[in-house]
Structure 1
């Protein structure tokens, strides 16, 4: 078995494997969830990951393409995601999955350690990950909002858009997001992270201000080349909770998705975060997929970070 960069001639294989991973729970991934090769390429491009370096076709000893794997590196979050592996037809066995994972780890960075989100029903991949020493972690739930033909009603609180890194509320937003979502590092790093989200990744940010303070905010993005977006973060200051501010922010995001012509919005949250899940359900989201996070063991670190 060997891994090689994916090329134009692999589109049919990638389309088939991606489609199976989003329609068959027993082959499902928690991330990336892409219906076709176009969406997978858009996912890689969002984080400036060259497809010919990060998307890898698995070949058997005879050179036959039998699957897909790879690594997506997000330098803003400092996160590395492993893709699958996704294996085709008769090659979808624990032995081939373990061999592909072992080959992938030879290309993986030491830091950050790759993460692999696997749909709970994908027992074959779970078995292979555990056999290769990947550590099982917490559960994750993906939720979906299908954008209706008519826009939602206006939010219950006034919501305004962040104008950019020079917005007077920018530093307060960075502090709120860092506190609510446990961003590592010092305040200067939090500011740089939010700047990267807005300037480099094209994220949109909205906030609610009350009594001269930032009461809450939301950060979301649209994936270029696709018809959907992702709600990445919602944060409400503890002193302003239970006032409907979180709901107002989510409704604002949903209205923006309607205006942008998106088909759907997605978000992920911890499977034990019942409070947030209830908020999103009230705002029109529905649970779509449950998955589990696995973290790779230490690796030789030969993959270029």
Structure 2
């Protein structure tokens, strides 16, 4: 987390829980307060996250960016990330009320994306 006094300028979440490779870290989430955007806050957060993941044993860091989020894609490129895989998420709506919220696995699309990236790099 990056603070400006007692105000949160931005935060990043990284983990070593990338399920395809035990020696890879994952930059899970990054957000910067709109008032701090364009000041290098996001780049500093990415660099700090990568440094901490490396110190914890990661040899590579992965992340995902939605196609329409060109600002985040450019941020990642500027910080040494390269696009390795593109995955399309196909969605088929089912009848209203079918299934349950608990039965749906919200992490399934991300697992598919990260699996595709890991297989491409191997």
- Higher mean alpha-carbon deviation, 251-260 vs 290-299, is at 290-299
Unaligned runs of 5+ in 1: 1-206
The alpha carbon displacement at 1:261 in A equals 1.2
Count of matched residue pairs: 98
The alpha carbon displacement at 1:240 in A equals 0.9
Which protein has the larger Cα radius of gyration, Structure 1 or Structure 2? 1
TM-score, length basis structure 2 = 0.71
**Aligned mates of 2:36, 2:59 — CA distance in 1:** 32
The alpha carbon displacement at 1:211 in A equals 3.6
Structure 1 partner of 2:37: 241
The alpha carbon displacement at 1:297 in A equals 3.0
The alpha carbon displacement at 1:234 in A equals 0.5
Superposition RMSD in Å? 2.1
Query: Over residues 82-137 of structure 1, what are the superposed CA-to-partner deviations in whole Å (9 max), with x where a residue is unaligned?
Result: xxxxxxxxxxxxxxxxxxxxxxxxxxxxxxxxxxxxxxxxxxxxxxxxxxxxxxxx
Structure 2 partner of 1:232: 28
**Aligned mates of 1:255, 1:228 — CA distance in 2:** 13
Structure 2 partner of 1:212: 6
Secondary structure, in 3 states, of the residue corresponding to 1:270? coil
TM-score, length basis structure 1 = 0.30
Name whichever structure is richer in strand by fraction: 1
Structure 2 partner of 1:301: 99
The alpha carbon displacement at 1:212 in A equals 2.6
Runs of 4+ in 1 over 3 A off after TM superposition: 299-302
Query: Over residues 178-208 of structure 1, what are the superposed CA-to-partner deviations in whole Å (9 max), with x where a residue is unaligned?
Result: xxxxxxxxxxxxxxxxxxxxxxxxxxxxx11
